[in-house]
């Protein structure tokens, strides 16, 4: 997946924070940061199959919620707060048993880097 980002002073500050925070995270429930292409500001991340759609009741909701909590707990262990968790910032990989991935760390904050 590629995330295109417009350039600008305030946006560059948010993008810098996103890059620093996201790059430091390695967890099965967080989309992997691959590389940064700077000519037009593109972030390259893992390719995923789609958005989370809860259609099969409580068991499915519990399955994905446990994955979400695992990813969030890891972020907090790394002293990073996502600050924009919502359904649109979660994706599914293409595996037979889908794995939830947290994405979009543009509003994240780190107590380590004081971002």
> Do 18 and 10 touch, CB atoms closer than 8 A?
no
Given the residues 12, 59, 84, 104, the one annotated as active site: 84
User: How far, in Å, are 42, 49, 89 from residue 108 at the CA level?
Assistant: 18, 24, 12
Question: Is-catalytic flag, 84?
Answer: yes
- What residues are labeled active site? 84
């Amino acid at each position: 997946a590629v995330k295109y980002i417009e350039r600008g002073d305030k946006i560059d500050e948010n993008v810098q924070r996103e890059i620093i925070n996201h790059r430091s995270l390695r967890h099965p429930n967080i989309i992997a940061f691959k590389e940064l292409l700077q000519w037009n500001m593109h972030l390259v991340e893992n390719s995923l199959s789609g958005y989370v759609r809860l259609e099969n009741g409580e068991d499915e909701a519990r399955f994905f919620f446990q994955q979400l909590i695992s990813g969030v707990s890891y972020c907090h262990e790394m002293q990073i707060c996502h600050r924009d968790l919502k359904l649109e910032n979660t994706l599914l990989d293409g595996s037979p048993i889908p794995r939830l991935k947290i994405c979009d760390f543009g509003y994240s904050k780190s107590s380590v880097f004081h971002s």
